[in-house]
Amino acid sequence: MTSQKVEPIWKVVAGHGSHIKATRDMLSIQNRGITQEIPLSALDHLLIIGGHHIQTSAITTLLNNQIFISFLESDGEPAGYLKPYGYTQDDTIRENQNHASPFSYALIFAKSAARERILTIERWNEEGDGKILFSGELDILDQAVRELDSLIKIEEISRVDRLIRDMYYEIMSRLITPDLIFKRRSGRPYRDPVNAILSFGYAMLTADCTRSLIGSHLDPDQGMLNRGKRSLATDLVNCWKTRMIDLVTLDLIHKGRVTPDSYECGEKRCILAEQLIQDLIDLYQLSIRHDVIETQVITLIKALNGETPFEIHRF
């Protein structure tokens, strides 16, 4: 195993209560009577999410085998990491990330998100016999997408991205029963169940993207289109949230599974019931495509290394 390897080989231990041990050649993970063993030669990064037990001897063995260890909170929030002496793979990747020109990446992220949203709107309109859209809305969206190629600043790209996003959610609201009080995408605190549900799904998707970025030694806070905490994860999320979260959420609502007893809305915020939360976890775990995310992150690394052009993977 060398520090020049590009594609990561990493293992995630999520949830709670696992016991992590290691022999000279093998990583052992025990949870609820089930033991999983992974050869150390087939691992270069261990991600521990949530509360678990790991022996100090296991930490020493992993570090001596040049295996990077990251710790994350149960919601995917990065907590810290342990780096073997002489380990340089993360330095190389971070350096390439720091020196990358964000504009071309930002444009690709924005165009990808716009494409997904507009295709979804067109599908909704077709299924609604052309009665979903108001006159001229598709023309505005198409013009906004065409405008992206003529922009020269990331701030301008962000403005167009927000326009398309806001229109998308406003159109989406027309497909949702009025008693759920969803009119547009709002910030915290969420005062309607749909915004609360969407945010729960986006949080799961963001955590998965963050995990993949950290597993590949990329900085999840160094976005191309977005800025701030988990901004690179947000760049990725915006490319897939329509299909991985939004369509699943609409299907849940249309099937009548969001009932008055599954949430409680007060003056300050809307709280989802435990059963609805569990249903959402089950649904989103199936709809979030880990393989697509991991493939995308590897493509991003190769693009940052100058090995291949950057593109967004479809599924």
Cα Rg of the chain, angstroms = 21
Domain locations along the chain:
10-87, 97-304
State the fold for domain 10-87: Ribosomal Protein L15; Chain: K; domain 2 (3.100.10)
Instruction: Return averaged pLDDT per consecutive 10 residues of the chain, 315 residues in all.
Output: 49 88 95 92 88 95 92 80 86 94 97 97 94 94 96 97 97 96 91 94 91 91 95 97 97 96 91 91 92 95 95 92
Are 117 and 233 within 8 A, CB to CB? Answer: no
Output the pLDDT for position 2. 37
Are 184 and 137 within 8 A, CB to CB? Answer: no
* Three-class SS state of 22: strand
Task: Give dist(CA 32, CA 49) in Å, integer.
Answer: 17
Task: Give dist(CA 291, CA 244) in Å, integer.
Answer: 13
| CATH code of domain 97-304 | 1.20.120.920
Output the pLDDT for position 201. 92
Task: Give dist(CA 50, CA 73) in Å, integer.
Answer: 5
Phi-psi region of 262 (alpha: psi -120 to 50; beta: other; left: phi over 0): alpha
Q: Kindly tell me the burial class for residue 48, based on how many C-beta atoms sit within 10 Å of its own C-beta (0-12, 13-18, 19 or more).
A: buried
Q: What is the pLDDT of residues 243-288, one digit of tens each?
A: 999 999 999 999 999 999 999 998 889 999 989 998 998 999 899 9
Are 293 and 208 within 8 A, CB to CB? Answer: yes
Output the pLDDT for position 8. 53
